[in-house]
Structure 1
Amino acid sequence: MKKSLILILTALLLVLAGCGQSASTSSNTSGSASDASGAAAPEEKKSTEMTTIKVASLPAPMDAILLLVKPLLVEDGINLEIVEMSDNIQPNDALANKEVDANFFQHVPYAEAYNEARGSKIVPIQPVYNALYAGYSSKHKSIEELPDGAIVVIPNDPPNIAHSLLLLEQNDLIELKEGAGIKAGLQDITSNPKNLEFKEVDLLTLNRMMDDADLVTMYPAYAKPLGLSAKKDALIVEKDMEAFAITLMAREDNKNDPALLKLAERMRGPEVVKFLEEEYTDTYPAF
């Protein structure tokens, strides 16, 4: 009788122990599932917010360079919005009025002249490329063929008037007053042996004047649409005038903006160097 009772009690204890273990396992499993689904701290989501910067520009190669670096800036969390303008006044007006964050179309002397005239504070961030300024003709095959009294078409803004006169002086067509430099004007011509006659027009209309002049001075951006190259077709070409490098500009109040500094970094990168060397051979990097 005692043996039977002992066996029954032992069996009962085993059953209860098994149930307890099962409940504990179930509870642990349930707890683990809860931790995996809800109780565990959620992973932080990576921010996908982009910083947008607006840059005013003119047609190629300026806008082409911006388009080149645009996808690279996405990797830096920056959305580049390119605002293409139709003349060479609008980009500075837009920048001065804070309608854009930067512009890319001009050299430092041009920006300085604008500042003096408008009381603005446009400043350089990054020189990007030098463009071979040159004189072209559809009437003459060499500079020696220029007749007495030849008509020379030049831009009508003071910095590019100076650029044109320096180009002519470098090629022995005129002489300028000593020290005139990048501020030179027509009044600074001290010698003009061919009696050149100067006609000033808007920078963006220079390439339309080829049939009306003996010589037209212009940048590669305006010569290329005519199929002209400074190295192959120009009668005269400038020699190392790096003061006129085409430069990324901002304002004094935002020149240290991190997004603009990253843009400047991308614009002096190897992709831009390769583009200039392969696509715009009348230019060379200014960095």
Structure 2
Amino acid sequence: MKKNIVSTMTVLAVSALVSVSSASANEKLSVAATPVPAAEILEFMTSQMAEQGVDLQVHVFTDFIQPNQQVVEKQIDMNCFQHKPHLDSFNENESQNLVPQGYTYILPLGAYSTKIKSLDELKKGASVAIPSDTTNGARALLLLQKEGLIKLKDPEDLFATSRDVVDNPKRLKFVELEAATIPRVMSDVDLAVINTNYALDANLNPKRDSLFMEDTDSPYANLCASREDNKDREAIKKLNEVWQSPETLKFIEEKYQGTVIPVKPK
């Protein structure tokens, strides 16, 4: 009996060692992401990545600046938080060469208000908060143009600024703020154009709460990005595959109820 107990304990000990050894042998992949929905989705994906032999480590940031800087400085392997125009703008302004990896989802930009319930109530001289970064600011202006509130010098300019507004019949006053802060100042402005990741983080649902939002054919599909020197890592390829797995797609559909729209690989 004693011999059997010793044998059983030996088997369990060996199994535990094998388990620990296997876990420690997993390749580590660090990813920077904004809280909602990117980090939430990535956290859901960790178990699938572990099955693929990858220890996925998610680092959460609340701004649009640090995720790229951390990758450039080799503090983090890659990021998943931005769309292609934002990545292009960063590369150009910072003389960097971060490269796109897999495309993930579309987060339709929406306009919200605590003061009005329809655009008909928007008065002349109303204040409109828009993101201060170049690409999301332009995106907000394009959305306002689509709703007939303004006209831009080039109606398709993905890098337009408020200086490019050539027609503003309601004499709207643009308040340019860091994108993450806009939900917190909604009560101080008449209209706030908010990125969906920050809207969801503030318990705002673009389908339910916005006065208007982008169409699902928006060109602003989010993506993951990495440095040139690790773009072909097997762990990154596995991450791209897991983004498109049936389990991940089901999680996105059930959790976000159509406010986060997965995109097919490009």
TM-score (norm 2): 0.87
C-alpha displacement at 1:226, in angstroms?
3.6
Whole-angstrom CA distance in 1 between matches of 2:155 and 2:144: 16
**How do 1:1-287 and structure 2 match up within 5 A?**
48=22, 49-178=25-154, 180-281=156-257, 282-287=259-264
Name the CA shift for 1:109/1:79 in 2 (closer, same or farther; >3 Å).
same
Does the residue aligned with 1:144 lie in a helix, a strand or coil? helix
* Paired residues of 2:72 and 2:227 also in contact (CA < 8 A): yes
Whole-angstrom CA distance in 2 between matches of 1:92 and 1:208: 24
* Paired residues of 1:242 and 1:286 also in contact (CA < 8 A): no
C-alpha displacement at 1:242, in angstroms?
3.3
Question: For residues 197-227 of structure 1, what are the alpha-carbon distances to aligned partners after superposition, in whole Å with 9 as ceiling and x for unaligned?
Answer: 0000111101011111010001222222443
| 2:263 aligned partner, one-letter code | A
- Single out whichever of 225-234 and 253-262 deviates more from structure 2: 225-234
Whole-angstrom CA distance in 1 between matches of 2:117 and 2:93: 39
C-alpha displacement at 1:272, in angstroms?
2.2
> 1:36 corresponds to which residue?
none
Does the residue aligned with 1:262 lie in a helix, a strand or coil? helix
* Paired residues of 2:108 and 2:218 also in contact (CA < 8 A): no
Question: For residues 150-193 of structure 1, what are the alpha-carbon distances to aligned partners after superposition, in whole Å with 9 as ceiling and x for unaligned?
Answer: 10000100000111011101111111123542121112212111
C-alpha displacement at 1:230, in angstroms?
1.3
C-alpha displacement at 1:276, in angstroms?
2.0
Whole-angstrom CA distance in 2 between matches of 1:88 and 1:245: 15
* Paired residues of 2:142 and 2:155 also in contact (CA < 8 A): no
* Paired residues of 1:138 and 1:214 also in contact (CA < 8 A): yes
Whole-angstrom CA distance in 2 between matches of 1:215 and 1:250: 35
Name the CA shift for 1:241/1:174 in 2 (closer, same or farther; >3 Å).
farther
* Paired residues of 2:109 and 2:195 also in contact (CA < 8 A): yes
* Paired residues of 1:170 and 1:239 also in contact (CA < 8 A): no
Name the CA shift for 1:154/1:108 in 2 (closer, same or farther; >3 Å).
same
C-alpha displacement at 1:85, in angstroms?
2.1
| 1:202 aligned partner, one-letter code | E
Name stretches of at least 5 consecutive residues in structure 2 with no aligned partner.
Answer: 1-17
Does the residue aligned with 2:163 lie in a helix, a strand or coil? helix
C-alpha displacement at 1:241, in angstroms?
4.9
* Paired residues of 1:180 and 1:188 also in contact (CA < 8 A): no
The list of structure 1 runs, each at least 4 consecutive aligned residues, that deviate by more than 6 angstroms after superposition, is none
C-alpha displacement at 1:83, in angstroms?
1.4
| 2:86 aligned partner, one-letter code | Y
Does the residue aligned with 1:60 lie in a helix, a strand or coil? helix
* Paired residues of 1:109 and 1:244 also in contact (CA < 8 A): yes
Count how many residue pairs are aligned between Structure 1 and Structure 2.
243
* Paired residues of 1:95 and 1:103 also in contact (CA < 8 A): yes
Whole-angstrom CA distance in 1 between matches of 2:174 and 2:114: 17
Give me the CA root mean square deviation: 1.7
Name stretches of at least 5 consecutive residues in structure 1 with no aligned partner.
Answer: 1-44
Whole-angstrom CA distance in 2 between matches of 1:113 and 1:225: 25
Question: For residues 39-71 of structure 1, what are the alpha-carbon distances to aligned partners after superposition, in whole Å with 9 as ceiling and x for unaligned?
Answer: xxxxxx998321111111110211011111110
| 1:191 aligned partner, one-letter code | D
- Single out whichever of 84-93 and 237-246 deviates more from structure 2: 237-246
TM-score (norm 1): 0.81
